[in-house]
Amino acid sequence: MKKIILLISIITLLSSVCFAETTTGNNAPQTLSNKTVGIFIVTPTTFKINDPTQNLLIRKASIFFPAKKFSVLTLETTSNAIKSYRPNNRSQNIYSSQYLSHEDIQTIAKELTCDYAFLITINKGLPSMSTSSTYKTSVTCEFRVINVQNGSYMAHKIITKDVSSDNVRDGIPTYGNAYSDALERALFDLNLDVSNL
């Protein structure tokens, strides 16, 4: 008789534990909500980012901002927002085109209801001749993660890559995909600590 009572007690205890685990798993309130991140690229007027570099950028962003914690806007969404913002706020003249500032990106990101802006700024240096037919320059890639609400930097890194070209148009060196190549090489080296987000 004691064995039967002991067996019933064990079954009852196991049933209650299993029920508690099932209830906790199914009805637990979700306390974490995904934060929205926008990727913004600010480049010289002549700079065009190619598809392989864009794909690498998206893959790298997915490492920094994993889907379980973040929702990352598409590059199309953020680039369209920049195109809409520029005409009313910045010059469109190719010779006097103004860079979008930190504050501009913060404003655009707020309009997109982003929590964070992953801002990539590309700057090119002045060309210099290394041989009689080859021109060199440096491309600086600045990576910033901005808290959209207060404008503070959550992460910041600057990487500079040298590029060269032997193409000249109207007496001015042209670098074609060299800028995109510099960004791609910078992305391979990029490591951001965003554990505080």
| 60 in any annotated domain | yes
| pLDDT confidence band for 130 (50 / 70 / 90) | low
Of 28-42, 54-68, 75-89, 111-125, least confident by mean pLDDT is 28-42
| 19 in any annotated domain | no
What CATH number should be reported for the domain holding residue 75? Answer: 3.40.50
| String of DSSP letters for 46-63 | T----HHHHHHHHHHHHH
| 79 in any annotated domain | yes
DSSP letter at 17 equals H
| 6 in any annotated domain | no
In terms of pTM, does the model score above 0.95? no
| 109 in any annotated domain | yes
The pLDDT of residue 15 is 46
Tokens of 160: 């500079």
Radius of gyration of the chain, Cα coordinates, nearest whole angstrom? 26
112 and 77 Cβ atoms separated by less than 8 Å:
yes
Task: Tell me the average pLDDT of the chain.
Answer: 79
| 9 in any annotated domain | no
Q: Which domain holds residue 157?
A: 35-189
DSSP, collapsed to helix, strand or coil, labels residue 146 as strand
Work out the average pLDDT over 150-164: 93
Domains in the chain: how many in total? 1
